[in-house]
Structure 1
């Protein structure tokens, strides 16, 4: 476990190098259009999170619940064999599935997760665009049941980090379908569907390492050859300003809370799904000012910039 933690410490620099190489190959060798401004926005997001945000906010707001669950755990699960580690990996992916699903269906969590879907291109650089507010949302609460059942917090969150590391390669658009692996694992094809904002693909394929939970709970959709994936938010966010990317959905959420007429409406705004409606002025003005007039495209009626759930 110690060796694994040491490897994870160097993961981000390695991922950035690989993503940069992908961009160079796509742009220079394969002569494809590559959005280097979006690449730099994703880079700024990752570096700001890893070397600034995590320094001043080392723990999640859910840390007290994590500590409480471990203190009052029902059992202690020893990770001294392959079977125990396999159970840990599967249980963590099950917990991740519900975290990821709620991150699309509960607006409080979507306010951070929207950042990951804000890139209008699907490539390896977009894989580490996660935003800066994840620890403020208390998302670690989804792993509290595992810890209460007896899995130590350290291995649980190490497994979560490995899960995210696995998902890096899923953001390669050029990898085709992978045969029988498509039935068990989350693959680039499945993840392309997840990132697509086509109506037929919305809110699908939440799995991390495995795709079996999507198949079990009715959220699986296969990529169709006759329906190319269109990436980004339903109403695209055109700005590459890292500040706009990090806070555009929080600004929209704050405005909707301000407009709410009752506490019931405010609660529904926080824990309900991302709402329909035209792009809010808060988001439009924020992107317009930061991008020198390049505001989000609000041409699609009935959809907000947060609506590619």
Structure 2
């Protein structure tokens, strides 16, 4: 087993220092991106994620090792070119995991935690799930099957998570054009955290924004459409326990209560957030189309 370092733990002092610098800069720029209770909730969610990570990562590593040891189709050596391959393999895996996390309520129930803040700053990057790490790894299970060593996979997943820390800020407007064209940036990720109908379920990138452009989920941040952070229906709480589990409660309530067919109960697990069996709910595409129609009408007038 290669002895790669746990880079997330080593990065914690950097996270703290970066947040202090951002707080100073935003204060000078008169940007009100921090709220004490909100930031404390984000930090608590991050700490819980790290602590639970000791258990979840052990289970994920075991699953990867089991597949690697018993079912791998080849053996990819741990040399420089395999790190290039795994960079792209991990990044496209993350894209599809992230996209499904917005379009399947079973995955949204854990991912919603990251979108629950109405503020956007570096502390928001630390607002991580307490439950998703135990099952989201299925999007990476093809990699040990192909022959990537589990330790390499875990390392690259951490590198991706580390990269995504710095893009949670309003202090950076735009990066150089070539960088914006290829990489995920603060501007692209601000769109992803927007509750504006135009911005819903867009820019699912981890490190490379090219996947969104290839698969049709890219949206540019527009000057005349200021990002409104948070959820379509905000949970309005700073309680970490509620933040972590409230959507799970709503989900199980929809699945288990009321007069519904077995099919509809199952559909609540796999359909997008906002879907309802009686047709009264609205998913992000419905909200976006309504907004576009209203905007077209307004522009025509």
Does the pair score TM above 0.5? yes
Per the TM alignment, residue 61 of structure 1 is displaced from its structure 2 partner at its CA by: 6.5
Mark the CA change 1:264 to 1:302 in structure 2 (over 3 Å): closer, same or farther.
closer
Counterpart residue number, 2:146: 149
Counterpart residue number, 2:192: 194
CA contact (8 A) 1:234 1:303 kept: no
Q: What is the RMSD computed on CA atoms of the aligned residues?
A: 2.6
Counterpart residue number, 2:127: 129
Counterpart residue number, 1:185: 183
Per the TM alignment, residue 303 of structure 1 is displaced from its structure 2 partner at its CA by: 6.1
Matched, 1:30 2:36: no
The correspondence of residues 148-167 of structure 1 with structure 2, limited to 5 A, is 148-167=145-164
CA contact (8 A) 1:63 1:140 kept: no
Per the TM alignment, residue 75 of structure 1 is displaced from its structure 2 partner at its CA by: 0.7
When the two structures are aligned, how many residues end up with a matched partner? 280
- Aligned mate of 1:117, from 115, 118, 126: 115
Q: 2:132 & 2:203 partners in 1: Cα distance?
A: 21
**Consecutive unaligned residues in structure 1, runs of 5 or more:** 278-300
Counterpart residue number, 1:67: 66
Per the TM alignment, residue 86 of structure 1 is displaced from its structure 2 partner at its CA by: 1.1
CA contact (8 A) 2:64 2:150 kept: no
Counterpart residue number, 2:21: 21
Q: 1:11 & 1:223 partners in 2: Cα distance?
A: 29
The correspondence of residues 246-285 of structure 1 with structure 2, limited to 5 A, is 246-259=244-257, 261-276=260-275
Mark the CA change 1:269 to 1:302 in structure 2 (over 3 Å): closer, same or farther.
closer
Q: 1:226 & 1:257 partners in 2: Cα distance?
A: 40
Counterpart residue number, 1:40: 40
For residues 250-285 of structure 1, give each alpha carbon's deviation from its aligned partner in whole angstroms, at most 9, with x where no partner exists. Answer: 1110111122523212221112211246xxxxxxxx
Matched, 1:172 2:169: yes
TM-score normalized with structure 2 length? 0.85
Mark the CA change 1:232 to 1:303 in structure 2 (over 3 Å): closer, same or farther.
farther
SS in 1 for 2:130: coil
Per the TM alignment, residue 221 of structure 1 is displaced from its structure 2 partner at its CA by: 1.0
Q: 2:186 & 2:287 partners in 1: Cα distance?
A: 18
CA contact (8 A) 2:192 2:200 kept: yes
Q: 2:265 & 2:16 partners in 1: Cα distance?
A: 39
**Consecutive unaligned residues in structure 2, runs of 5 or more:** 289-301
Q: 1:61 & 1:252 partners in 2: Cα distance?
A: 27
